[in-house]
């Protein structure tokens, strides 16, 4: 079992679905949703939340600053 558990919260309405966060994630947690937000963008979401290690890479490269990151040390 992982020593850390992480999670991200995406500001869905502000996400533009650029997908830059996807290759930045070392554990392939993120994908774009099939649903769209109010602007018609397929927003980023945690497809595999169990894999998130809270490294913040996705938030660091997010051009719109819509990702907030949490990390729990076990």
Partner 1 sequence: MAEITLEDIIKPENLVYKKTDLLTDKELSYCPGCGHGTAHRITMEVLEELGLEERTIGVAPVGCSVLAYEFMNIDMTQAAHGRAPAVATGIKRCWPDRIVFTYQGDGDLAAIGTAETIHACNRGEKIVIIFINNGIYGMTGGQMAPTTLPGMKSSTSPFGRDVETMGNPLKMTELVAQLPGTYFVSRQAVHSPAAVRRAKKAIKKAFENQRDNKPGLSFVEIVSNCNSGWKMTPIDANKWMEENMFPFFPLGDIKVDGQLVK
Q: Which residues bind partner 1 (CB under 8 A)?
A: 5-7, 9, 14, 16-20, 22-24, 41, 49, 54, 56-57, 59-72, 74
Dihedral in degrees, nearest 10, Cα atoms 27, 28, 33, 38: 60
Q: Which two tokens stand for residue 67?
A: 């990702």
Minimum Å gap between C-beta 33 and partner 1 is: 14
Six token digits for residue 17 = 């679905």
Residue 34 vs 74, nearer CB to partner 1: 74
Nearest approach, Cβ of 7 to partner 1 (angstroms)? 4
2 contact partners, CB below 8 Å, separation of at least 6:
53, 74
| Of 33 and 61, CB closest to partner 1 | 61
């Amino acid at each position: 079992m992982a020593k850390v558990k992480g999670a991200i919260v995406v500001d869905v309405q502000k996400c533009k679905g650029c997908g830059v966060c996807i290759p930045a994630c070392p554990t392939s947690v993120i994908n774009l949703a099939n649903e769209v937000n109010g602007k018609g963008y397929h927003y980023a979401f945690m497809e595999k939340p169990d894999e998130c290690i809270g490294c913040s890479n996705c938030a660091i490269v997010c051009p719109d600053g819509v990702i907030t990151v949490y990390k729990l040390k076990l």
